Structure 1
Amino acid sequence: METAQSQQQAAPGAFAAFARFVLCGGGVGLAAGFAVAALASWIPWVLANALITVVSTLLATELHARFTFGAGGRATRHQHAQSAGSAAAAYVVTCMAMLALRQLVVAPGAVLEQVVYLSASGLAGIARFAVLRLVVFARTRSQAAVTVRTVRPLSATFARASAPTDPAALCRAA
Protein backbone atom coordinates (compact mmCIF):
# COMPACT_ATOMS: atom_id res chain seq x y z
CA MET A 1 0.00 0.00 0.00
CA GLU A 2 2.85 2.38 0.79
CA THR A 3 4.23 1.89 -2.73
CA ALA A 4 0.92 3.00 -4.18
CA GLN A 5 0.81 6.04 -1.92
CA SER A 6 4.38 7.05 -2.78
CA GLN A 7 3.63 6.59 -6.46
CA GLN A 8 0.50 8.71 -6.11
CA GLN A 9 2.43 11.47 -4.32
CA ALA A 10 5.18 11.25 -6.94
CA ALA A 11 2.87 12.36 -9.75
CA PRO A 12 2.12 16.06 -9.15
CA GLY A 13 -0.93 17.79 -10.53
CA ALA A 14 -0.73 20.16 -13.49
CA PHE A 15 -0.32 23.29 -11.38
CA ALA A 16 2.40 21.82 -9.16
CA ALA A 17 4.18 20.38 -12.19
CA PHE A 18 4.07 23.76 -13.95
CA ALA A 19 5.42 25.52 -10.87
CA ARG A 20 8.27 23.01 -10.69
CA PHE A 21 8.82 23.31 -14.43
CA VAL A 22 9.16 27.08 -14.14
CA LEU A 23 11.52 26.75 -11.21
CA CYS A 24 13.76 24.07 -12.73
CA GLY A 25 13.45 24.88 -16.42
CA GLY A 26 13.31 28.61 -15.85
CA GLY A 27 16.41 28.53 -13.68
CA VAL A 28 18.29 26.51 -16.28
CA GLY A 29 16.92 28.76 -19.04
CA LEU A 30 17.98 31.92 -17.26
CA ALA A 31 21.48 30.55 -16.72
CA ALA A 32 21.54 29.44 -20.36
CA GLY A 33 20.66 32.94 -21.51
CA PHE A 34 23.66 34.40 -19.73
CA ALA A 35 25.87 31.53 -20.86
CA VAL A 36 24.90 32.09 -24.51
CA ALA A 37 25.70 35.79 -24.21
CA ALA A 38 29.07 35.06 -22.64
CA LEU A 39 29.99 32.31 -25.09
CA ALA A 40 28.83 34.39 -28.07
CA SER A 41 31.62 36.86 -27.37
CA TRP A 42 34.10 34.12 -28.41
CA ILE A 43 32.20 32.13 -31.05
CA PRO A 44 29.28 32.88 -33.41
CA TRP A 45 25.96 33.33 -31.60
CA VAL A 46 24.23 30.48 -33.46
CA LEU A 47 26.95 28.02 -32.41
CA ALA A 48 26.93 29.32 -28.83
CA ASN A 49 23.15 28.91 -28.69
CA ALA A 50 23.42 25.36 -30.07
CA LEU A 51 26.04 24.31 -27.52
CA ILE A 52 24.22 25.85 -24.58
CA THR A 53 20.92 24.38 -25.78
CA VAL A 54 22.40 20.87 -25.75
CA VAL A 55 23.90 21.24 -22.28
CA SER A 56 20.87 22.97 -20.78
CA THR A 57 18.49 20.41 -22.32
CA LEU A 58 20.39 17.51 -20.76
CA LEU A 59 20.40 19.23 -17.38
CA ALA A 60 16.76 20.33 -17.55
CA THR A 61 15.56 16.89 -18.66
CA GLU A 62 17.26 15.32 -15.66
CA LEU A 63 15.72 17.90 -13.33
CA HIS A 64 12.28 17.41 -14.89
CA ALA A 65 12.51 13.63 -14.59
CA ARG A 66 13.57 13.78 -10.96
CA PHE A 67 11.45 16.67 -9.65
CA THR A 68 9.02 18.27 -12.09
CA PHE A 69 6.99 15.34 -13.35
CA GLY A 70 7.45 12.94 -10.46
CA ALA A 71 9.41 10.18 -12.18
CA GLY A 72 11.62 10.10 -9.10
CA GLY A 73 14.68 8.86 -10.96
CA ARG A 74 16.98 9.61 -13.83
CA ALA A 75 15.60 10.28 -17.28
CA THR A 76 15.84 7.41 -19.73
CA ARG A 77 17.61 7.69 -23.08
CA HIS A 78 14.23 7.64 -24.77
CA GLN A 79 13.03 10.54 -22.62
CA HIS A 80 16.22 12.45 -23.39
CA ALA A 81 15.68 11.85 -27.11
CA GLN A 82 12.08 13.04 -26.95
CA SER A 83 13.06 16.05 -24.89
CA ALA A 84 15.76 16.84 -27.45
CA GLY A 85 13.06 17.11 -30.10
CA SER A 86 11.21 19.76 -28.15
CA ALA A 87 14.52 21.49 -27.40
CA ALA A 88 15.31 21.56 -31.12
CA ALA A 89 12.02 23.35 -31.73
CA ALA A 90 12.87 25.80 -28.92
CA TYR A 91 16.28 26.35 -30.51
CA VAL A 92 14.62 27.25 -33.82
CA VAL A 93 12.27 29.65 -32.03
CA THR A 94 15.12 31.45 -30.25
CA CYS A 95 17.21 31.63 -33.43
CA MET A 96 14.28 33.03 -35.40
CA ALA A 97 13.62 35.61 -32.69
CA MET A 98 17.26 36.71 -32.68
CA LEU A 99 17.38 36.84 -36.50
CA ALA A 100 14.22 38.94 -36.49
CA LEU A 101 15.76 41.26 -33.90
CA ARG A 102 18.86 41.71 -36.04
CA GLN A 103 16.69 42.49 -39.05
CA LEU A 104 14.77 45.13 -37.10
CA VAL A 105 17.63 46.64 -35.06
CA VAL A 106 21.03 47.19 -36.68
CA ALA A 107 23.10 47.00 -33.49
CA PRO A 108 20.96 45.67 -30.61
CA GLY A 109 22.42 46.07 -27.13
CA ALA A 110 23.02 43.20 -24.76
CA VAL A 111 19.94 44.02 -22.67
CA LEU A 112 17.63 44.04 -25.70
CA GLU A 113 19.17 40.77 -26.91
CA GLN A 114 18.55 39.21 -23.51
CA VAL A 115 14.95 40.41 -23.42
CA VAL A 116 14.25 38.99 -26.88
CA TYR A 117 16.11 35.74 -26.20
CA LEU A 118 14.48 35.13 -22.82
CA SER A 119 11.03 36.05 -24.15
CA ALA A 120 11.40 33.59 -27.02
CA SER A 121 12.72 30.99 -24.59
CA GLY A 122 9.76 31.56 -22.29
CA LEU A 123 7.23 31.07 -25.07
CA ALA A 124 9.06 27.97 -26.27
CA GLY A 125 9.19 26.79 -22.65
CA ILE A 126 5.41 26.84 -22.31
CA ALA A 127 5.14 24.66 -25.40
CA ARG A 128 7.88 22.38 -24.03
CA PHE A 129 5.96 21.98 -20.77
CA ALA A 130 2.98 20.65 -22.67
CA VAL A 131 5.12 18.27 -24.72
CA LEU A 132 7.06 17.01 -21.71
CA ARG A 133 3.97 16.54 -19.56
CA LEU A 134 1.74 15.00 -22.22
CA VAL A 135 4.30 12.99 -24.19
CA VAL A 136 7.76 12.57 -22.69
CA PHE A 137 6.82 11.89 -19.06
CA ALA A 138 3.22 10.78 -19.62
CA ARG A 139 4.15 7.11 -19.32
CA THR A 140 5.47 7.68 -15.82
CA ARG A 141 2.20 9.29 -14.73
CA SER A 142 0.06 6.55 -16.30
CA GLN A 143 2.18 3.84 -14.63
CA ALA A 144 1.62 5.54 -11.27
CA ALA A 145 -2.11 5.66 -11.93
CA VAL A 146 -2.17 1.96 -12.85
CA THR A 147 -0.21 1.10 -9.69
CA VAL A 148 -2.67 3.06 -7.57
CA ARG A 149 -5.67 1.43 -9.23
CA THR A 150 -4.33 -2.12 -8.89
CA VAL A 151 -3.73 -1.95 -5.14
CA ARG A 152 -7.11 -3.65 -4.62
CA PRO A 153 -7.55 -6.36 -7.26
CA LEU A 154 -10.53 -6.08 -9.54
CA SER A 155 -11.69 -9.62 -8.65
CA ALA A 156 -11.90 -8.73 -4.95
CA THR A 157 -13.85 -5.58 -5.75
CA PHE A 158 -16.21 -7.52 -8.04
CA ALA A 159 -16.69 -10.31 -5.51
CA ARG A 160 -17.63 -7.86 -2.76
CA ALA A 161 -20.02 -5.98 -4.97
CA SER A 162 -21.80 -9.07 -6.30
CA ALA A 163 -21.88 -11.23 -3.15
CA PRO A 164 -25.27 -11.39 -1.47
CA THR A 165 -25.41 -10.10 2.08
CA ASP A 166 -27.84 -12.81 3.23
CA PRO A 167 -26.13 -16.21 3.76
CA ALA A 168 -29.46 -17.98 3.15
CA ALA A 169 -29.53 -16.48 -0.34
CA LEU A 170 -26.32 -18.35 -1.11
CA CYS A 171 -28.05 -21.67 -0.33
CA ARG A 172 -31.08 -20.81 -2.44
CA ALA A 173 -28.93 -19.74 -5.40
CA ALA A 174 -27.11 -23.10 -5.40
Structure 2
Amino acid sequence: MDTTSSTTAKTPQVIGSFVRFVVFGGGVGLASSATLILLCGHLPFAAANALVTVGSTLIATELHSRFTFGRDKPGTSDHVKAALTVLVCYLFTTAAMLTLQAIQPQAGVLVRQAVYLSASGLAGIGRFAFMRLVIFAKKSPTGPKATPRVLAREAVATAA
Protein backbone atom coordinates (compact mmCIF):
# COMPACT_ATOMS: atom_id res chain seq x y z
CA MET A 1 0.00 0.00 0.00
CA ASP A 2 1.49 3.32 -1.06
CA THR A 3 0.97 5.99 1.60
CA THR A 4 3.27 8.52 -0.06
CA SER A 5 0.53 10.30 -2.01
CA SER A 6 -1.77 10.24 1.02
CA THR A 7 0.94 11.72 3.22
CA THR A 8 1.89 14.31 0.59
CA ALA A 9 -1.75 15.37 0.18
CA LYS A 10 -2.22 15.76 3.94
CA THR A 11 0.91 17.88 4.44
CA PRO A 12 -0.31 20.92 2.43
CA GLN A 13 -3.69 20.66 4.18
CA VAL A 14 -2.02 20.74 7.59
CA ILE A 15 0.25 23.62 6.56
CA GLY A 16 -2.64 25.57 5.03
CA SER A 17 -4.78 24.99 8.13
CA PHE A 18 -1.93 26.07 10.37
CA VAL A 19 -1.32 29.24 8.32
CA ARG A 20 -5.03 30.13 8.54
CA PHE A 21 -4.99 29.28 12.25
CA VAL A 22 -2.04 31.63 12.79
CA VAL A 23 -3.62 34.44 10.76
CA PHE A 24 -7.01 34.26 12.46
CA GLY A 25 -5.69 33.30 15.88
CA GLY A 26 -2.89 35.85 15.65
CA GLY A 27 -5.30 38.59 14.66
CA VAL A 28 -7.61 37.74 17.53
CA GLY A 29 -4.56 37.46 19.81
CA LEU A 30 -3.27 40.92 18.89
CA ALA A 31 -6.72 42.43 19.42
CA SER A 32 -6.91 40.59 22.75
CA SER A 33 -3.54 41.94 23.79
CA ALA A 34 -4.63 45.52 23.10
CA THR A 35 -7.91 44.91 24.93
CA LEU A 36 -6.01 43.46 27.88
CA ILE A 37 -3.91 46.62 28.15
CA LEU A 38 -7.05 48.74 28.21
CA LEU A 39 -8.83 46.54 30.76
CA CYS A 40 -5.86 46.29 33.14
CA GLY A 41 -6.31 49.96 33.99
CA HIS A 42 -9.77 49.15 35.33
CA LEU A 43 -9.61 45.51 36.51
CA PRO A 44 -7.08 43.24 38.20
CA PHE A 45 -4.97 41.38 35.65
CA ALA A 46 -6.45 37.93 36.37
CA ALA A 47 -10.01 39.20 35.86
CA ALA A 48 -9.11 41.14 32.72
CA ASN A 49 -7.27 38.11 31.32
CA ALA A 50 -10.26 35.88 32.06
CA LEU A 51 -12.61 38.19 30.14
CA VAL A 52 -10.22 38.55 27.23
CA THR A 53 -9.52 34.81 27.07
CA VAL A 54 -13.20 33.83 27.07
CA GLY A 55 -14.19 36.45 24.49
CA SER A 56 -11.28 35.80 22.18
CA THR A 57 -11.79 32.04 22.36
CA LEU A 58 -15.45 32.33 21.33
CA ILE A 59 -14.51 34.54 18.39
CA ALA A 60 -11.54 32.39 17.39
CA THR A 61 -13.59 29.16 17.58
CA GLU A 62 -16.10 30.61 15.11
CA LEU A 63 -13.34 31.73 12.75
CA HIS A 64 -11.39 28.46 13.00
CA SER A 65 -14.46 26.32 12.47
CA ARG A 66 -15.49 28.14 9.32
CA PHE A 67 -12.19 29.12 7.74
CA THR A 68 -9.36 27.07 9.27
CA PHE A 69 -10.99 23.64 9.45
CA GLY A 70 -13.71 24.05 6.80
CA ARG A 71 -16.82 23.44 8.89
CA ASP A 72 -19.97 25.48 8.29
CA LYS A 73 -20.73 26.55 11.83
CA PRO A 74 -19.47 25.14 15.10
CA GLY A 75 -22.08 23.32 17.13
CA THR A 76 -22.66 23.69 20.82
CA SER A 77 -20.53 20.63 21.55
CA ASP A 78 -17.67 22.17 19.53
CA HIS A 79 -17.84 25.32 21.64
CA VAL A 80 -17.95 23.25 24.83
CA LYS A 81 -14.88 21.29 23.75
CA ALA A 82 -13.11 24.50 22.73
CA ALA A 83 -13.98 25.94 26.14
CA LEU A 84 -11.59 23.39 27.64
CA THR A 85 -8.80 25.20 25.85
CA VAL A 86 -9.91 28.44 27.50
CA LEU A 87 -8.88 27.16 30.89
CA VAL A 88 -5.52 25.94 29.63
CA CYS A 89 -4.78 29.20 27.79
CA TYR A 90 -5.92 31.29 30.75
CA LEU A 91 -3.81 29.34 33.24
CA PHE A 92 -0.78 29.38 30.95
CA THR A 93 -0.86 33.10 30.13
CA THR A 94 -1.70 34.07 33.70
CA ALA A 95 1.15 31.93 35.07
CA ALA A 96 3.55 33.51 32.57
CA MET A 97 2.50 37.04 33.54
CA LEU A 98 2.53 36.34 37.29
CA THR A 99 5.97 34.77 36.93
CA LEU A 100 7.19 37.88 35.10
CA GLN A 101 5.72 40.07 37.82
CA ALA A 102 7.51 38.02 40.49
CA ILE A 103 10.84 38.08 38.63
CA GLN A 104 10.68 41.63 37.28
CA PRO A 105 7.94 43.67 39.01
CA GLN A 106 8.82 46.88 37.15
CA ALA A 107 8.80 45.35 33.66
CA GLY A 108 7.79 47.80 30.97
CA VAL A 109 4.83 47.42 28.66
CA LEU A 110 6.95 46.01 25.82
CA VAL A 111 8.36 43.24 28.04
CA ARG A 112 4.88 42.45 29.40
CA GLN A 113 3.52 42.31 25.85
CA ALA A 114 6.38 40.08 24.69
CA VAL A 115 5.79 37.64 27.54
CA TYR A 116 2.02 37.66 27.08
CA LEU A 117 2.19 37.20 23.31
CA SER A 118 4.83 34.46 23.63
CA ALA A 119 2.71 32.59 26.16
CA SER A 120 -0.35 33.09 23.96
CA GLY A 121 1.57 31.77 20.94
CA LEU A 122 2.65 28.62 22.77
CA ALA A 123 -0.85 28.08 24.07
CA GLY A 124 -2.10 28.62 20.51
CA ILE A 125 0.06 25.82 19.13
CA GLY A 126 -1.43 23.46 21.69
CA ARG A 127 -4.89 24.78 20.85
CA PHE A 128 -4.34 24.14 17.12
CA ALA A 129 -3.31 20.54 17.77
CA PHE A 130 -6.29 19.95 20.06
CA MET A 131 -8.78 21.55 17.68
CA ARG A 132 -7.43 19.72 14.63
CA LEU A 133 -7.13 16.32 16.28
CA VAL A 134 -10.15 16.40 18.59
CA ILE A 135 -12.72 19.12 17.96
CA PHE A 136 -12.71 19.50 14.18
CA ALA A 137 -11.18 16.16 13.20
CA LYS A 138 -12.63 14.69 10.05
CA LYS A 139 -14.87 11.82 11.00
CA SER A 140 -14.00 8.59 9.23
CA PRO A 141 -17.04 6.73 7.91
CA THR A 142 -15.40 3.47 8.96
CA GLY A 143 -14.67 4.73 12.47
CA PRO A 144 -16.50 3.62 15.60
CA LYS A 145 -19.35 6.11 15.07
CA ALA A 146 -20.15 4.85 11.57
CA THR A 147 -23.73 3.71 11.30
CA PRO A 148 -25.12 1.41 8.62
CA ARG A 149 -26.85 4.42 7.05
CA VAL A 150 -23.56 6.38 6.83
CA LEU A 151 -21.76 3.36 5.39
CA ALA A 152 -24.55 2.84 2.84
CA ARG A 153 -24.40 6.51 1.76
CA GLU A 154 -20.62 6.29 1.39
CA ALA A 155 -20.94 3.11 -0.68
CA VAL A 156 -23.52 4.71 -2.99
CA ALA A 157 -21.41 7.86 -3.35
CA THR A 158 -18.32 5.81 -4.14
CA ALA A 159 -20.16 3.68 -6.71
CA ALA A 160 -21.56 6.75 -8.45
Rg larger in structure: 1
Measure how far apart 1:152 and its partner are: 1.5
In the other structure, the counterpart of 2:7 is none
For 1:59 and 1:111, the matched residues in 2 are separated by: 25
For 2:128 and 2:19, the matched residues in 1 are separated by: 11
For 2:25 and 2:128, the matched residues in 1 are separated by: 9
Structure 2 unaligned regions, length at least 5: 1-11, 143-149
Measure how far apart 1:149 and its partner are: 5.7
The answer to which structure, 1 or 2, has the higher relative contact order (CA under 8 A, 6+ apart) is: 1
1:21-170 to 2 correspondences below 5 Å: 21-71=21-71, 73-138=72-137, 141-142=138-139, 150=155, 151-153=157-159
Measure how far apart 1:144 and its partner are: 8.6
For 1:65 and 1:143, the matched residues in 2 are separated by: 18
TM-score (norm 1): 0.75
Number of matched pairs: 140
TM-score (norm 2): 0.81
What SS does the corresponding residue of 2:139 show, helix, strand or coil? helix
- The one-letter code of the counterpart of 1:100 is T
Cα gap change, 1:49/1:126 in structure 2, threshold over 3 Å: closer, same or farther?
same
For 1:122 and 1:47, the matched residues in 2 are separated by: 20
Describe the superposition over 1:112-154 as per-residue Cα deviations: whole angstroms up to 9, x where unpaired.
Answer: 110000000000000000000000101xx2269989964224x
1:17 and 2:17 matched: yes
For 2:40 and 2:106, the matched residues in 1 are separated by: 15
Using the aligned pairs only, state the percent identity.
46
Q: Contact between 1:87 and 1:128, CA under 8 Å: does it hold in 2?
A: no
For 2:26 and 2:54, the matched residues in 1 are separated by: 16
For 1:88 and 1:66, the matched residues in 2 are separated by: 23
For 2:27 and 2:16, the matched residues in 1 are separated by: 16
- The one-letter code of the counterpart of 1:52 is V
Structure 1 unaligned regions, length at least 5: 1-11, 157-174
For 2:154 and 2:100, the matched residues in 1 are separated by: 52
Measure how far apart 1:36 and its partner are: 0.6
What SS does the corresponding residue of 2:43 show, helix, strand or coil? coil
- The one-letter code of the counterpart of 2:42 is W
